[in-house]
Amino acid sequence: MGHMISYQCEKCRIIRIEHVGVGMLGVGSELCACYHCHRYVLKKLKRSTNFEEAVLRCPYCRKTIEAIDHGDSCPICASPIDAEPIGFWD
């Protein structure tokens, strides 16, 4: 089961609602930040992938990226991001 999460940056006025995690079909996604390119990157996941140990790379610059969590900084303006769970998906 995955989560629906609202990501918000007050300074950039960006609001993204993403369905993150892996659902019953074994596929899903995770919203990541590339601080080198200053972009948000949505990475696809498969159930067979151990997300905690996977090395995720930006498709634009190939630098290592990490999933966004509450309190992380915005890749565009470096302000704190509010990541609030708003529901579940399957």
pLDDT, one tens digit per residue, over 37-80 is: 999 999 887 766 555 567 889 999 999 998 888 889 999 999 99
At 51 the pLDDT is 54
pLDDT at 88 over 70: yes
At 41 the pLDDT is 93
HEC string of the chain equals CEEEEEEEECCCCEEEEEEEEECCCCEEEEEEEECCCCEEEEEEEECCCCCCCCCEECCCCCCEEEECCCCCECCCCCCECEEEEEEEEC
- Name the pTM for this structure: 0.76
4-17 tens-digit pLDDT? 888 899 999 988 88
Parse the chain into domains and list their residue ranges.
Answer: 2-89
